[in-house]
Amino acid sequence: MTDIDERRWRNVLPAAAPGCSQGTPYSFWVKAGDPNKLAVILSGGGACWNGENCALHGRPYYRPFADLELDPTGLGGIFDTDHPENPLADYTLVYLPTANGDVFLGDAATSYDVPSMSGHPEGTLTILHKGFDNAMLALRWMFGAYPRPDAVVVSGWSAGALASPLYTHIVARQYPDARVTHFADGGGAYHLCEKLAPLFKAWGTENVLRRVEGFQGLPIDGLTIEDLYIRAAEMHPTITFHQYNERHDAVQAMFLRLMGEKNPDIPSLLDQAHTYIRTRVSNFRTYTSWGCDEGVIGGYYDAIPALNALDNRGRPYALDRLYTRKTNGIRFLDWFRAAVTGNAVEDVACRDCQTPEHHWVRPDFQGRA
């Protein structure tokens, strides 16, 4: 075990990393814990696939840099290693920022035509969609530093959730004797088939799949995120692939509209995607909660307004979703803990999907729980 004084985040700059979207250096973060227990965390942070949403002066919906201010110190969720209920509290955490606009599925340098906007003339822009190479350099560092772990969790939220099955496969092949588990937080409603093809082509995803043994035969035309789950689950029948979503996820709805879906029906798309996977593999489980937000593991909070003007001085209570979210009486933390420690869980699905439900004891007026 690592001494408590050494439990701080440190930034690692991998040699030969191709860099972030604009060519700036790429780095990742490590918090040392038990060397026999590893957690790979693929960050959220959006995506881009045309000149308008890749240009920083346009409408960027992605994180273009892996800056030092992304230090996860102070974040909640799984990053809060002081929380007594955190199932990953004693793990060594390897946190990979997303910084290439390609949800970790890119292997291309793509030039885009940028229209005139925001006072800037039209022009061209080259984006380094090299998220796969950056991630693989981080993983190779981890493979060298921690050669024989007993347990590895591969997780991601939002943008980082989409490629998480592929990286689970890569990690499982590297650590054949370890207990490898998977968890994806969000990203379950992108069951679009042909509308994803332009994104994959812009990112060079076909180049990525050619480089990953077992994924070479997947065609880009018609490829879905669910196909990544299916291929990984087929090759690793002892690993259960887990996914969390909120039933009316507004972030996924926003990106679907950017892809051309005028009125995205998130509940219907979630159902279609989950059915698509379940009819092909059995090692897949979902927890679908109420609400319209996105993100449960990465330090996200629900605000509950005070019902009495004197209660909490009129301010809302901010509740860390990882520790307080509940659906149909089932606490998400219990489900998540079982999932990432290799225990069986059943599917959970909200009923009315609107009414908030929390595992939370309200403080009294003196602030005592």
Residue 362 in domain:
no
> Which pLDDT belongs to residue 192?
85
- pLDDT attached to residue 4: 43
Q: Is the dihedral of CA 175, 181, 187, 193 positive or negative?
A: positive
Q: How far apart are CA 64 and CA 98, in angstroms?
A: 8
Residue 19 forms part of a structural domain: yes
pTM attached to this predicted model: 0.95
In what helix (H) or strand (E) does residue 231 lie, and over which residues does it extend?
helix 225-235
DSSP state of 16: T
CATH number at residue 96: 3.40.50.1820
Domain count, the chain: 1
How many other CB atoms are found less than 10 A from the CB of residue 280? 15
Q: According to the model, what pLDDT value does residue 1 have?
A: 43
297, part of any domain: yes
Give the domain range for residue 118: 4-349
In whole angstroms, give the CA distance from residue 15 to residue 25. 10
Q: In this predicted model, what pLDDT tens digit does every residue of 262-317 receive, in sequence order? A: 999 999 999 999 999 999 999 999 999 999 999 999 999 999 887 777 777 778 88
pLDDT score recorded for residue 165 = 98
Does the residue 131 lie in any domain? yes
pLDDT per residue as tens digits for the range 240-255: 999 999 999 999 999 9
Tell whether 161 is covered by a domain: yes
Residues 6+ apart with CB under 8 A from 106: 100, 129, 130, 131, 132, 203, 204, 205, 208
- DSSP for 318-363, written as a single string: EEEHHHHBEETTEEHHHHHHHHHTT-----EE-SSSSS--B--PPP
Domain for residue 356, yes or no?
Answer: no
Q: Which residues, including other chains, have CB under 8 Å from residue 139's CB and lie 6 or more apart?
A: 40, 167, 170, 171, 174
Q: Is the residue at 367 inside a domain?
A: no
Q: Is residue 28 part of a domain?
A: yes
Taking 50 as the pLDDT cut, the residues of the chain under it are 1-5, 367-369
For residue 7, what pLDDT is reported?
Answer: 76
As a whole number of angstroms, the distance between CA 133 and CA 44 comes to 17
